[in-house]
Amino acid sequence: MTKVKKMAFSNPDYSSHQVFSRYFSSMKDPRRTNKGHHLYPLEEILFLCISAVISGMDDWTSITMFGRLKLPWLRQYLPYRHGIPSHDVLGKVFAALDPIQFSACFRDWVNSMAEFTGGQVVAIDGKTICGSDDKVAGKSALHVVSAYASGNRLCLGQEVVTEKSNEITAIPALLKLLTVKDCIITIDAMGCQKSIAGSIVEKGADYILMVKDNQQELKEQVEKVFAMNPKTEADMTIDAGHGRIEKRTCQAIENLTFLDDKQDWPGLKSIAKVISERTDKRSGHKSSQTRYYISSLPAKPKVIGQAIRSHWAIENNLHWTLDMLFKEDNSLKKKGNSPLNYNIIAKMALNIIERETESKSSKPQKRKRAALDDEFRSKLIAG
């Protein structure tokens, strides 16, 4: 199996205080800071929240409780002259905080931690924050499109939309904000659009886009080319786990002479076909699924197949974790900008937890240890 190249961390020795001063002190405080109604500096609130969420706190009340119990530890980094704000204060601040500016600071912070190398797979996919709707206020649930560096399990940024269908406009907007030169961008069928392929090529990256029925004519053309070329170079992998055996076969074709309208897809070089065959170990039941892709990469089935497998890390390691570990979909944070701002805080906490590799502990175990062990929490925050 070809290894996906990972990012190299550029500066592992910065202190937590320096990080927040450098990348988050530019945040505009939404409160009336010029009239004295301001006891708790925004920098202190942000540092409190990220420290608490790392330590397993998932709502404003528990974050306040954490802060009061860990005030001596927090004061090692920032003054907290007036102590810890109440849960009401936290809720009001995050409801009013500008999520666009917060997201920009988040991206700058991520870029300070890592630099890209060629071949890094960046998966782009959307997730609806189910707990963000507010029926009383007539507010629908938010849909967040995220970019995820699969090899390093690092969320790079996000763009928010009000409907899943708007991913088509959100993806190019997100790409504009990211540094993805020489990376491989993978997107599911929603992102299989000529404009998105063009945006990726303009960024100096390659793409692998799933082809489904939303591009019916293209799918038929791809199927036709594979039918004309039954014997193509293929790469096969077998995984055995979770009570099943899965064999994946990836085929790729670079000769696109008989693919109609290929010139309309910027940078298109190859098409791919992935056949997944699953066998349930207990029942012996077998199932098969075939998926098709277009790519700007050469027809190397091993490289393409591995990048496609890496794409699903955004579902398993980001979206699932936000739901199950950070309780995002069960959150009661509905007011104002709170749902999106908490999404950013949770992604920051997840990035910090994922960077720690010495303990070999699971993410839930790391959060529990951070809640109990001040030294370990300091280690996590310092990176």
Residue that terminates a domain, selected from 303, 318, 333:
318
Give CA angle at 230 (229, 236), nearest 5°: 115
> Confidence class of residue 135 from pLDDT cuts 50, 70 and 90?
low
Residue 1 in any domain: the answer is no
pLDDT of residue 6: 38
Same domain, 62 and 192: no
Q: State the pLDDT confidence band at 31, using cuts at 50, 70 and 90.
A: confident
pTM for the structure as a whole = 0.85
Q: Are 377 and 307 members of one domain? A: no
What range does the domain containing 280 cover?
116-318
Residue 3's pLDDT band, with cuts at 50, 70 and 90, is very low
294 pLDDT higher than 80: yes
Within-domain flag for 327? no
How high is the pLDDT of residue 4? 38
Q: What is the mean pLDDT of residues 18-22?
A: 67
Task: Tell whether 313 is covered by a domain.
Answer: yes
pLDDT in the model for residue 33: 58
Give the mean pLDDT of 139-153: 84
- In this structure, are 204 and 291 located in the same domain? yes
Q: How many structural domains is the chain composed of?
A: 2
Indicate if the pLDDT at residue 141 is higher than 80: no
Look at residue 34 and tell me whether its pLDDT is greater than 80: no
Statement to judge: residues 243 and 308 lie in one domain: yes
Asked, for residue 302, whether it belongs to a domain, the answer is yes
- Are residues 44 and 186 both part of a single domain? no
- Measured between alpha carbons, how far apart are the two ends of the chain, in Å? 30
Q: What is the b/e burial string over 198-222, where b = at least 16 CB atoms within 10 angstroms of the residue's CB? A: ebbbebebbbbbbbeeebeebbebb
Model confidence at 12: pLDDT above 50: no
Averaged pLDDT, 44-65: 94
Dist CA 365 CA 39 (whole Å): 34
At 242-284, the pLDDT tens digits run 778 889 999 999 999 999 989 999 999 999 999 999 998 888 8
84 and 175: one domain? no
Give the model's pLDDT for residue 130.
Answer: 73
Residues 130 and 96 in one domain: no
Q: Judge whether 141 and 305 are in contact, CB under 8 Å.
A: no
pLDDT of 2 = 37
Residue range 210-253, pLDDT digits in tens: 999 889 999 999 999 999 988 888 999 998 777 788 899 999 99
Per DSSP, which regions of the chain are E strands?
8-9, 114-115, 121-129, 142-149, 154-161, 184-187, 206-211, 234-241, 244-253, 270-280, 286-295
Name the least confident of 77-86, 105-114, 259-268: 105-114
Q: How far apart are CA 64 and CA 137, in angstroms?
A: 27
The answer as to whether 335 is a domain residue is: no
Looking at the fold, whether 39 and 143 belong to one and the same domain comes out as no
**101-119 burial string, b = 16+ CB within 10 Å, else e?**
ebbbbbbebbbbbbebeeb
- Residue at 78 is within a domain: yes
pLDDT band at 39 (very low <50, low <70, confident <90, very high): confident
Lowest pLDDT segment from 84-88, 251-255, 337-341: 337-341
Q: Tokens at residue 352, please?
A: 């910090």
Q: What percent of the chain has pLDDT over 70?
A: 86
Distance CA 28, CA 39 (A): 16
266 lies in the same domain as 123: yes
328 domain-assigned: no
Give yes or no: residues 253 and 293 share one domain.
Answer: yes
User: What are the backbone angles phi and psi of residue 281, rounded to the nearest 5°?
Assistant: -65, -35
Q: How far out from the chain centre does Cα 330 lie? A: 19
Do residues 173 and 308 both lie within one domain? yes
Q: Tell me which of 318, 351, 367 is where a domain ends.
A: 318
Determine contact, residues 231/238, Cβ cutoff 8 Å.
no
Helix (H, G, I), strand (E, B) or coil at 296: coil
Residues 139 and 264 both lie in one domain: yes
On whether residue 324 sits in a domain, the answer given is no
Residue 378's pLDDT is what? Answer: 92
